[in-house]
Amino acid sequence: MIYPYLSIEERLRRLETDLQNTRDTVLGFLPKDLKSLFKNYWHCKDSQQINEWMKSFLNKVMEVATPEGNPAKNEVLVYDQRPRVLCPLCGCGSHNVVLQEGFLLPDGLMMHLTGEKNARQCRVMEAIMPLTDDHFQAIQLAETKAQNEESERRKSVEKLYQVAFSDQPVLIDECLYGKCPRNEHELIWAEQRLRELGFQLVVEGRVTKYSIERQDFFVLADPRSNGEILFRAYRMPLPKRGRGKLIRTFSIQDKWKTDLNKKFEMRLTGTTG
């Protein structure tokens, strides 16, 4: 046990101090130009600058890893005519025993530095990146707060869409998860497609709802995303309070031109014939 003579609280504080000192020490072992570039994280003011800083730092590490950057420590190891190098930070190579030692340039070394695609991350990167946590988390919290405030402001004045039975109405570009919202012309086109499928368009104040009611199903349509119309089907009867029973989600692609009613019915009922 480390520091057995201390209380649990004092032991935790001492271990936190030791960990911080260790990280600072590891950072101190970096080459001067890499260390200076890393410390520039403190100048980041928003997420875009964080991404640019990270890209710049990783690119510099990749530059140092090339034979031209440091031929004495980064000898190219040839297995299949593609260059391989040892990590310039931790000195490790590939853990694949079938291959010769070294990471492929550039993808193999990049995965090692970032830990992407389940790669075993560079221990030096693991040690120094937490030094940025306090600063970066403060930026992210401030941005999240600003985004939430802007979202609430927009919801007080802009058009909203009821796309789920029990959830609050959403903005045209809210919760699309990387997909692009439709422009006005594209939305009119999607609304016409919904009318052809039998959907009703109901506007209450600033809230628009696209729905169709059957004996067994109640369906809400979400036409906001360019490229497809998303549907959420709920079991009838709908509850007067609480959440409806969502039984199926499916979509109709914009590029589909024929048998739309048949395709809609098959997806609504879960049939394949």
Q: Can you give the pLDDT at residue 67?
A: 56
pLDDT of residue 78: 47
**Tokens representing residue 23 in the block:** 């990280």
Distance between CA atoms of residues 198 and 73, nearest Å: 70
189 vs 120, which has greater pLDDT?
A: 189
Poorest-pLDDT segment among 9-18, 97-106, 177-186: 97-106
Beta bridge partners, 230, equal 222, 251
What per-residue confidence (pLDDT) applies to 51? 97
- Backbone φ and ψ for 65, nearest 5 degrees, come out as -75, -15
Q: What percent of the chain has a predicted confidence (pLDDT) above 90?
A: 68
What mean pLDDT is predicted for residues 38-51? 97
Top pLDDT among 78 and 48 is at 48
Residue 80 has pLDDT above 50, yes or no: yes
Q: What is the pLDDT of residues 196-226, one digit of tens each?
A: 999 999 999 999 999 999 889 999 999 999 9
Give pLDDT tens digits for 123-138.
Answer: 999 999 999 999 999 9
Residue 68 pLDDT class (50, 70, 90 cuts) = very low
Q: In this predicted structure, which of 73-77, 176-180, 224-228, 268-272 has the lowest mean pLDDT? A: 73-77
- Whether 86 contacts 101, CB under 8 Å: yes
Q: Residue 71: what pLDDT?
A: 41
Q: State the alpha helices, DSSP H only, in the chain.
A: 8-28, 32-39, 47-65, 107-114, 123-128, 133-155, 184-196, 260-269
Q: Which of the four pLDDT bands, split at 50, 70 and 90, describes residue 240?
A: confident
